[in-house]
Amino acid sequence: MSKLRAAVAGGLRRSGRRAVSHAGQSRKGASPRGGVPAPAPAPPPAQHLFSDPAEIEALRSKLLTWYDKCRRDLPWRTLAATEPDPDRRAYAVWVSEIMLQQTQVATVIDYYNRWMEKWPTLQALSQASLEEVNELWAGLGYYSRGKRLQEASRKVVSELAGQMPRTAEDLQKLLPGVGRYTAGAIASISYGQATGVVDGNVIRVLCRLRCIGADSSSPAVIDRLWDMANALVDRSRPGDFNQALMELGATVCVPKAPLCGDCPVKQHCRAWHRKLFGKPAPVPDVEDCGLGGCPLCPPAAEPWDSSLGVTNFPRKAAKKQPRAVRTATCVLERRSCHGASEYLIVQRPNTGLLAGLWEFPSLPLAQGLQEEKQREVLADHLQAWMRRPVAAEGLQFIGEVVHIFSHIHQTYVVYSLALDEHVTLDPASSPSRWVTEEEFHASAVSTAMKKVLGAPE
Ligand code: SF4
């Protein structure tokens, strides 16, 4: 239990790929009274567009030349380039794209290699159990991604005769969990469809290239960025172009300290030009279209800040604070007949947060509950579950472990209880099992639970 006592608060760092999609309103036939169609929205000012075909050609060429020289060797790129079967190729790209959402490349590589070794085809994945998928996914976070990937593979096998849809439109329409970004990435990389992609890296690069300072998470801006990505994508090498744009965002045009001096497209970058030649910004700034009210310029109240340079772009509305949740969790420990420690874990329901994963017996706590009361409700919970008396004072308080999910600030209040007698669990309760520490780590447990046991992530 010494590891338990050393458990400390911590959080996950994630800065991987963020898929972005906006369905948008139909612009055609919008006729509020069934009569004259509503006028089309005015095009954005030229400052924010790529309207010169020669410039688009030059940008494509420079970006692809740079990508050919500087791209990172990644296992999914190798598979996409060498796999002759289009279904296997699309599957290989699909797995990588799902894993890369919200997760860094360096973390994904090992997971990806193990996944592809275990399930090299859609057919193999479709036969896996959710338990196996969760076990392999454990530690990668956002567990519903693995589950949905497996569900979608079953659909391809059972309803589409094992053949992946061949266009971005069909991929998005037919596969659960495949949004506009993932569909565009699979179709362009696997099939060579000339369709753009917009993820977090692309948003940053495009907003800087065209000085887009309006809220980059707003539907209006996202729609414009999709239009731009579709216009820019290279017609003969769409997959490489999309990967090049994302690679630029991941390695050169990074969020905090972009390497503009090394950037292959700096000559086309309006933020970079403005940084070099800009001047302290009056309001409204003549370089912000000079009109005020431009839907893509920074808001007048937050004009260009010369101390930020190109990192003036992109801008986002303030994030909603994650919801605070407290959960009491108890590490029940016993000695096996060989003298080794064993811990009891229970399985979470198959829907909702951390679906199907295993955890120490846990109980959500009401806000503001005092420590003494927390201990009591946890003891009551364990008592009902184990069908034997559990004294609140027998629970040993270990500490608190904080884990940040995307929308939840989760605090686990950790207790332990050593058992020296046989325990019969209520058969109506969730599935449970005793595991050694080694078995615990090989099980489908979340990173948060590993923190609770005080193990390294
Ligand atoms: Fe990004 Fe700088 Fe290149 Fe512009 S010049 S695209 S800001 S790295």
Q: How far is the CA of 292 from the centre of ligand 1 (A)?
A: 25
pLDDT (tens digit per residue) in 23-80: 333 333 333 344 455 555 666 677 898 989 999 999 999 999 999 999 999 999 999 9
252 CA closest ligand 1 atom index: 8
* Same-domain status, 218 and 250: yes
Q: Record the pTM.
A: 0.77
Residues having CB closer than 6 A to ligand 1 are 205, 208-209, 252-253, 258, 260, 263, 265-266, 269, 271-272, 310
Q: Is 97 a catalytic residue?
A: yes
Q: CATH number of the domain that 424 lies in?
A: 3.90.79.10
* Same-domain status, 58 and 150: yes
* Same-domain status, 343 and 442: yes
Q: Domain residues for 341? A: 323-454
**447 — pLDDT class (breaks 50, 70, 90):** confident
* Same-domain status, 329 and 248: no
Q: So what's the pLDDT on residue 8? A: 29
Q: So what's the pLDDT on residue 122? A: 96
Q: How far is the CA of 178 from the centre of ligand 1 (A)?
A: 30
Pocket test for ligand 1, best of 201, 246, 265, 270 (most atoms within 8 A of CB): 265
Domain contains 28: no
Q: So what's the pLDDT on residue 406? A: 76
100 pLDDT higher than 90: yes
- Give the CA diameter of the chain: 82
Domain contains 31: no
* Same-domain status, 79 and 190: yes
* Same-domain status, 304 and 448: no
Contact at 8 Å (CB) between 413 and 452?
A: no
Q: How far is the CA of 266 from the centre of ligand 1 (A)?
A: 5
275 CA closest ligand 1 atom index: 7
Q: So what's the pLDDT on residue 13? A: 31
* Same-domain status, 205 and 269: yes
pLDDT (tens digit per residue) in 244-294: 999 999 999 999 999 999 999 999 999 999 887 764 444 444 455 655 678
Domain contains 10: no
Pocket test for ligand 1, best of 246, 253, 256, 311 (most atoms within 8 A of CB): 253
Q: How far is the CA of 48 from the centre of ligand 1 (A)?
A: 15
* Same-domain status, 216 and 305: yes
* Same-domain status, 377 and 277: no
Pocket test for ligand 1, best of 67, 260, 268, 277 (most atoms within 8 A of CB): 260
Q: DSSP character for 286?
A: T
Mean pLDDT value across residues 436-447: 91
204 CA closest ligand 1 atom index: 1
Task: For residues 368 and 54, give the distance between their C-alpha atoms in angstroms, rounded to a whole number.
Answer: 63
* Same-domain status, 260 and 113: yes
Number of H helices and number of E strands within the chain? Answer: 17, 7
Domain contains 169: yes
Domain contains 346: yes
Q: How far is the CA of 433 from the centre of ligand 1 (A)?
A: 53
Task: For residues 124 and 150, give the distance between their C-alpha atoms in angstroms, rounded to a whole number.
Answer: 10
For residue 261, give every residue at least 6 positions away whose Cβ sits within 8 Å of its Cβ, in sequence order, or none: none
Q: CATH number of the domain that 274 lies in?
A: 1.10.340.30
Ranked by mean pLDDT, which of 45-49, 101-105, 111-115, 352-356 comes out on top?
111-115
265 CA closest ligand 1 atom index: 3
Average pLDDT, the chain: 86
Q: So what's the pLDDT on residue 457? A: 34
352 pLDDT higher than 50: yes
Mean pLDDT value across residues 363-389: 89
Q: So what's the pLDDT on residue 1? A: 47
Given the residues 55, 83, 97, 400, select the one marked as catalytic: 97
Domain contains 112: yes
Residue with tokens 């370089």: 287
Q: So what's the pLDDT on residue 34? A: 43
Mean pLDDT value across residues 374-392: 89
* Same-domain status, 187 and 240: yes
Mean pLDDT value across residues 390-404: 91
Beta bridge partners of 358: 347, 445
* Same-domain status, 267 and 327: no
Nearest one of 168, 22, 21, 160 to 93, comparing CA atoms:
168
Q: How far is the CA of 70 from the centre of ligand 1 (A)?
A: 16
Domain contains 385: yes
- Number of CB atoms found within 10 A of residue 268's CB: 19
Number of domains in the chain: 2
264 CA closest ligand 1 atom index: 3
Domain contains 63: yes
